[in-house]
């Protein structure tokens, strides 16, 4: 990829000079995912790997809540996000005051915060979860009812799976909420035999049309394990690009939607982040201590 070569070379040299690593989410574009990332994965893997980083600097190629999680787990390290505007419609849907209100309305009911929330919202919660461990986290609480925020669809999907009553919030992922059950049925008609894997941020109607639902890492593992002849990943566009490069024998049907937040991260911005040591992610200590507890409780499961 000659068009990317100069930025890639510069980033590789800067990583050595700054003693830095790049953690990249599965939705990052292939030139980031395959050429400059040291660690790639879903939100759970990125959080877990963040606890094992030796380098002094972490560049988070992903969205802001992921960089905050890396910072929570590495308070002594410098965590950089290449574009401060890389938000998330789920994280933006709920405030700490909303969580306090929910608690007041449902006294004694444990609060599970999806990792796609701000550190301030995590600080108001009992425990975190990701799409990779939501079922385990909800079941670990042993409670008949839980508050699971802010993704309404993820909450409805896990309620169906576990039988636990889940109090939801009306947040949605703007990427996954766009897929419809009719679209999946159409895709099956047009591609007989296709194996359909959906992210649990999709609506329960879409998940019901899929053969399997799981986090981005679980979808990728499914393809590696089962090597279907033809597969459709009902998720963000870059996923199929990245997984297809790892499994050349598998054909991908691509009914994808783009995440505009993930796409704010580019090679030139990663390069600038390392050159200028920007944009540093910081979290107020009184928020960080409580938010870290929720994340660490999750990682202990």
User: Which of these, 114, 119, 78, 77, lies nearest to 96 by C-alpha position?
Assistant: 119
Which of the choices ligand 13P, ligand SF4, none does residue 216 contact, using the CB cut-off of 5 to 8 A by kind?
ligand 13P
Listed ranges 40-48, 67-75, 119-127, 271-279: which one lies at the site for ligand 13P (CB under 6 A): 40-48
128 appears as a binding residue in the annotation? no
Q: How far apart are CA 53 and CA 73, in angstroms?
A: 10
Which one among 11, 31, 36, 43 touches ligand 13P, defined by CB under 6 A? 43
| Smallest distance, ligand 13P to C-beta of residue 26, A | 5
Q: Which of residues 55-74 bind ligand SF4 (CB under 6 A)?
A: 63
Q: Which of residues 120-159 bind ligand 13P (CB under 6 A)?
A: 130-132
Helices 267-276 and 2-18: angle between axes, nearest 10 degrees: 30
User: Which of these, 101, 104, 114, 190, lies nearest to 148 by C-alpha position?
Assistant: 114
Reported as half-sphere exposure (CB side, CA atoms, 13 A), residue 289 has a value of: 2
Q: How far apart are CA 191 and CA 234, in angstroms?
A: 14
Q: Which is nearer to ligand SF4, 78 or 216 (CB)?
A: 216
Q: Name the 3-class secondary structure at 112.
A: strand
116 in contact with ligand SF4 (CB under 6 A)? yes
C-beta neighbour count of 107 within 10 angstroms: 6
| Smallest distance, ligand SF4 to C-beta of residue 263, A | 9
Q: Which helix (H) or strand (E) holds 22?
A: strand 20-25
Burial (CB count <10 Å: 0-12, 13-18, 19+), residue 284: exposed
Task: For residue 286, give both structure tokens.
Answer: 């009184």
Which of the choices ligand SF4, ligand 13P, none does residue 261 contact, using the CB cut-off of 5 to 8 A by kind?
ligand SF4
106 appears as a binding residue in the annotation? no
| Smallest distance, ligand SF4 to C-beta of residue 225, A | 24
Q: How far apart are CA 103 and CA 244, in angstroms?
A: 44
Q: Which residues bind ligand SF4 (CB under 6 A)?
A: 63, 88-90, 116, 173-175, 201, 236, 259, 261-262
Binding-site residue numbers for [4Fe-4S] cluster are 88, 173, 259
Q: Which residues bind ligand 13P (CB under 6 A)?
A: 26, 42-44, 63, 88, 116, 130-132, 173, 201, 215-216
Binding-site residue numbers are 25, 43, 88, 114-116, 131, 173, 199-201, 216, 259
């Amino acid at each position: 990829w000659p068009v990317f070569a100069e930025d890639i070379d510069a980033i590789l040299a800067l990583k050595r000079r700054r003693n830095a690593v790049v953690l990249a989410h599965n939705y990052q574009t292939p030139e980031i995912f395959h050429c400059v990332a040291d660690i790639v994965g879903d939100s759970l893997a990125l959080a877990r790997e963040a606890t094992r980083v030796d380098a002094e600097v972490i560049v988070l190629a992903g969205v802001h809540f992921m960089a905050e999680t890396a910072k929570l787990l590495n308070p002594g390290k410098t965590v950089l996000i290449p574009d401060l505007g890389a938000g998330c419609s789920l994280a933006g849907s709920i405030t700490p005051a909303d969580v306090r209100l929910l608690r007041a309305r449902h006294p004694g009911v444990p609060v599970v915060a999806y990792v796609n929330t701000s550190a301030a919202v995590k600080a108001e919660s009992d425990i975190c979860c990701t799409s990779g461990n939501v079922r385990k986290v909800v079941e670990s609480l042993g409670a008949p009812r839980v508050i699971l925020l802010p993704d309404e669809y993820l909450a409805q999907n896990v309620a169906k799976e576990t039988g636990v009553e889940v109090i939801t919030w009306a947040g949605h992922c703007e990427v996954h909420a766009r897929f419809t059950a009719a679209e999946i049925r159409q895709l099956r008609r047009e591609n007989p035999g296709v194996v359909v894997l959906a992210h649990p941020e999709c609506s329960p109607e879409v998940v019901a049309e899929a053969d399997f639902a799981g986090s981005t890492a679980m979808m990728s593992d499914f393809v590696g394990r089962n090597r279907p002849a033809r597969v459709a990943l009902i998720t963000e566009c870059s996923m199929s690009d990245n997984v297809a490069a790892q499994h050349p024998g598998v054909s991908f049907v691509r009914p994808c939607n783009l995440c505009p937040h993930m796409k704010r991260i580019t090679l030139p911005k990663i390069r600038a982040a390392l050159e200028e040591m920007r944009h540093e992610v910081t979290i107020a200590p009184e928020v960080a201590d409580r938010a870290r507890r929720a994340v660490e409780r999750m990682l202990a499961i």
